[in-house]
Amino acid sequence: MAKREKTVAQKMVETMDGGEASFQEKMAIVSLFAYALASLFFSGVLWQVDKQNGSWEGAGVLGLLLGMAAIISTAHIGGAIWAAVTNIEDAKAAADERDWRIRARAGHARSIMMSGLLAIFVGSYFFGATAETLVKGMLVAFLAGGVVANGAKVYLYRSGL
Amino acid sequence: MTFREKLAWVMSLVLILAGAFYAWEVVGHGRALSAVPPPSIKLAVVYIGFVIIGSVIGASSVAAHNTEEADAPADERERIAIDKAGYWSGYVLAAGAVAGVLHYWTHQDGNVMFHLVVAALMLSQIAEYAYQIILFRGSRV
């Protein structure tokens, strides 16, 4: 007999009852981890640069950006392989209606977080902050947006949305 | 037309007018200087004031004509439309911010980056309300 596909409601009840995470939920956990790691790397580099000469111009910026991109992409690729191997059926299926709802809500949270932080850093430019500070602020907004969006996804998958 | 759709129209209009005024002033100032103008706090205050006053007057007038709907929370369809619009507007914001950083990286001009980020913030808000209208009008929610 052919295996019947689970409905969106069944999947929702399963995760709310502490069942195994779906492929999409695992990817959200992986993304959260990736952005958190990249944030740690970013803070570490800035701290070191501040300690040494206080400027991060030139190759430093490129190194920082490449480092962050490498961390985020490696964690995503590794995580996607793990999530797919442990949940092959789910990985083959397209995102369902609930996944899209959660994605939209989490993405909205990301936009709000990013706009707020960007507005603060743009505002600081009026009061004498340098262009470097604005670049740092944009990176902070990007990382904070990633953490907030994926944190929201992980929370929403375990809630009754 | 529902209350939230009317509100989206009003907000789009206010943001487009305020944004156009801001852009006009920046371009005019740039032409006078023959260079990219530095950020002007006066202009920013006028823009913010215009948006605040315009939205308060606009939202109050819409609410006055739809008192019952204005009191009620957004329904399921509206919530999805609002979330989707917010989600996609983030891409507009990110595109502008990335363009700003790339420009700064190649030209080392902080003022252009500032104007690009401000434009991205304005455009992302306009895109959010415009997409809300499309979703409220269509059947894609």
User: What pLDDT is attached to residue A104?
Assistant: 93
Separation between Cα atoms, residue A100 and residue A103, nearest integer Å:
5
Cβ <8 Å between B121 and A122: yes
Other CB atoms within 10 A of residue B105 CB: 13
Separation between Cα atoms, residue A160 and residue A13, nearest integer Å:
8
Inter-residue contact B97 to A115 (CB < 8 Å): no
Question: Tokens standing for B62?
Answer: 């819409």
**A110 in B contact zone (CB under 8 Å):** yes
Contacts of B84 in chain A (CB under 8 A): 104, 108
Inter-residue contact A119 to A154 (CB < 8 Å): no
The residue-averaged pLDDT of B57-72 equals: 91
On the CB side of A100, how many CA atoms lie within 13 Å of its CA? Answer: 13
Tell me the per-residue pLDDT of B68-111, one tens digit each, with 9 for 90 and over. Answer: 888 888 888 899 999 999 999 999 999 999 999 889 888 888 99
More confident residue, A159 or B53: B53
The whole-angstrom distance between A96's CA and the closest CA on chain B is 14
Tell me the per-residue pLDDT of A91-123, one tens digit each, with 9 for 90 and over. Answer: 888 888 888 899 999 999 999 999 999 999 999
Contacts of A118 in chain B (CB under 8 A): 93, 97, 117, 120-121
Which residue in A has a C-alpha nearest to residue B43's C-alpha? Answer: A126
Least confident of A48-62, A86-100, B14-28, B29-43: A48-62
Per-residue pLDDT tens listing for chain A (161 residues): 445 566 666 666 666 666 778 888 899 999 999 999 999 999 988 888 777 776 665 556 778 888 999 999 999 999 999 988 988 888 888 888 888 899 999 999 999 999 999 999 999 998 888 888 898 899 999 999 999 999 999 999 888 77
Other CB atoms within 10 A of residue B99 CB: 16
Inter-residue contact B117 to B100 (CB < 8 Å): yes
The residue-averaged pLDDT of B112-126 equals: 95
Separation between Cα atoms, residue A38 and residue A30, nearest integer Å:
12
Cβ <8 Å between A111 and B97: no
With a cut of 60, say whether residue B135 has pLDDT above it. yes
With a cut of 80, say whether residue B117 has pLDDT above it. yes
Q: Which of A76, A99, A116 is nearest to A154 (CA)?
A: A99
User: What pLDDT is attached to residue A8?
Assistant: 67
Q: What dihedral angle (degrees, nearest 10) is formed by the CA atoms of A106, A112, A118, A124?
A: -140
Q: In degrees, to the nearest 5, what angle opens at C-alpha B36 toward C-alphas B32 and B39? A: 100
Which residue among A118, A126, A131 sits closest to B41, beta carbon to beta carbon?
A126
Spacing of C-alpha B68 from chain mean position? 27
**A129 Cβ contact list (under 8 Å, min separation 6):** A121
Cβ <8 Å between B90 and A122: no
ipTM tops the 0.90 cut: no
User: What pLDDT is attached to residue A1?
Assistant: 46
Question: Tokens standing for A142?
Answer: 């990007």
